[in-house]
Amino acid sequence: MSAPRDPWSDPSTAAEPGPAYTGPPPTVPPPYGYGGPGPYGAPPPGHGYGYGPPPPYGYPAPYPPPAYGGGYGPQPDRRPGQVIGAAVLSFVQALLVLIASLYVWFFASIAELAIEQSPTAAPAQAYEFAREGDVLAIVQLVSAVLLVAAGILALSRRGRPAWLLLVGAHGVQVALAIYWAGQLDDLLGPAATGEAGGVLAAFALFFAALPVVALGLVLFGGGRHWFTAP
């Protein structure tokens, strides 16, 4: 039984044979990284290495290239521990000076009250302390403000002005400690001997210890270099 003929074809011409069937067309695997599976050991599609061919089997994948502005460049200088330590000591010393200023103002007020109650019976030391107590309290409060400002500036700025303010603030504290040692010696008079003298020396050393340590941190080594280096 023959196939039906096309009614529109010419009956006088023979039909041309069609192409022989050779099977399905050959398939070409897609290139690596665009939807097709990669070679054995390679990552799945969409997770390529980004640059160049994948590494051989058994080698770890390379790190991705750093992004623009990444953190592989040189890091800026970090503030040394000496500077941070000096700033912290500034805050601690400011708190101690604030408490001491309140005590000075309190005892100066008591001395003034005692003088008002009995002007003739009050000792000469009471007159001297009442006269200088208020002024010393104000000076110490100002020095505490300088300490706080120097500590903040040391943690936020880098330059000679910050270094000078830090050195000056702690230098004032050392001077005040020496002044108080001499002032208390005059106020105590003959009593400033023996155990009283030891207490006086410990008092002066207590208020001078932190400023001396802070000065040592910023006058030598990395602490000074941080502020004075160009």
User: Rounded CA gap, 41 and 10, in Å?
Assistant: 62
Q: What pairs with residue 32 in β-bridges?
A: 36
pLDDT at 182: 77
pLDDT at 190: 52
Tell me the domain boundaries of the chain: 81-228
Q: Per-residue pLDDT for the chain (230 aa), expressed as one digit of tens each?
A: 555 555 565 556 555 666 666 666 666 555 554 555 555 555 555 554 445 555 555 555 555 555 544 444 444 578 899 999 999 999 999 999 999 888 888 877 877 777 777 766 666 666 676 777 778 888 999 999 999 999 999 999 888 999 999 999 999 999 999 888 777 766 655 544 555 555 666 777 888 999 999 999 999 988 888 888 87
pLDDT at 41: 53
| 8 A C-beta contact, residue 78 and residue 146 | no
Instruction: Say what the pTM is.
Output: 0.60
In one letter, which amino acid is 127?
Y
Look up residue 29 and give its two tokens: 């695997």
Maximum Cα interatomic distance, the chain, rounded to a whole number of Å:
156
Helical H segments across the chain, by residue range = 81-117, 124-156, 160-188, 195-219, 221-228
pLDDT at 216: 93
Look up residue 105 and give its two tokens: 């103002």
Alpha-carbon torsion 156, 162, 165, 171, what sign? positive
58: left (phi over 0), alpha (psi -120 to 50) or beta: left
